[in-house]
Amino acid sequence: MMVRIINICSGKGGVGKTTITANLGIALQKYYNKVAIIDFNITTSHLGLYFDMYTCPVTLNNFLRNEAKLEDTIYTHPSGLKIIPASLKISDIVNVDVNNLKNNLKQFFYDYDIVLLDSAPGLGREALIALQACDEVLFVVNPHIPSLIDIEKYKQVISSLQSRPVPTGIIINMFRNKNYELTVEEIRQFLELPVIGVIPEDEKILAGFNKKFLVTASDKKSSASKSFFKIAARIAGVEYNYGFWERLKRAFKKEKFS
């Protein structure tokens, strides 16, 4: 099976794209043996921060500047997830050529199952290169009109590419289920793409970031964590089975203590 390179992208910043990339990467470890996430947002990199990686001896920037091999930039999370962070130093942006990465992804990650790209927001140079480097695209939106309009622009750009990635679907993030929000069905109809998951607004996500842990690694029972694992199951093409195990545990406890 060939590696699937999935671009996690958004039309604007602040919709939670990096949060989704980090947590979804961990969730996908439940269904695959080899998963990697790459910080493709070189100029405003944040992905490493979600894993308490404030300083790294070698980053993606070193590879893009021909100062290191790609394998030297890979770090392993306790879950088994492979992480390629970008540098937080503004000086490390100089002489960076993202095309070096685009041309090496398929070859280097040939024996991986899934590689997630944490794309730069919008449609700047880095975002366009990520589109050309991936096989599939997952759009992250919030339940408000502006983020949907930006995704429509993304779809038009994809249709103009010679090598077109497949728009796999939409992840709705920070969903509060309020009357003033667009509904899931309204978003699906507007973008004419399947909604593969809805992440509810969950304070445990923010608390986890400030305390340096991810909700999918620390609190699998939270509403947001369950949503991430459901999305991971859908990407893997398998049935989400969390509810089955919960029912089995409850039945066991009832039989044991009744």
Span 72-122, pLDDT tens digits:
999 999 989 999 999 988 777 777 777 767 778 888 999 999 999 999 999
Cα 230 from Cα 122, distance rounded (Å): 27
| pLDDT band at 256; cut points 50, 70, 90 | very low
The CATH class given to the 4-257 domain equals alpha beta
| pLDDT band at 218; cut points 50, 70, 90 | confident
For the chain, the first-to-last Cα distance in angstroms comes to: 48
- Determine the average pLDDT of the residues in 233-244: 82
Q: For position 252, what pLDDT does the model report?
A: 43
- Considering only CA atoms, which of 241, 232, 223, 230 is closest in space to residue 175? 223
**Domain ranges within the chain, ordered by starting residue:** 4-257
Span 145-158, pLDDT tens digits:
999 999 999 999 99
Span 26-78, pLDDT tens digits:
999 999 999 999 999 988 899 999 998 888 999 999 998 889 999 999 999 99
- Of 143 and 1, more confident: 143
- Considering only CA atoms, which of 180, 161, 182, 163 is closest in space to residue 172? 182
Q: For position 211, what pLDDT does the model report?
A: 65
In this structure, what token pair is assigned to residue 193? Answer: 């793409």
Identify any residues that bridge with 9 across adjacent strands, giving them in sequence order: 139
Query: Average pLDDT, whole number, for the chain?
Result: 88
Q: For position 212, what pLDDT does the model report?
A: 67
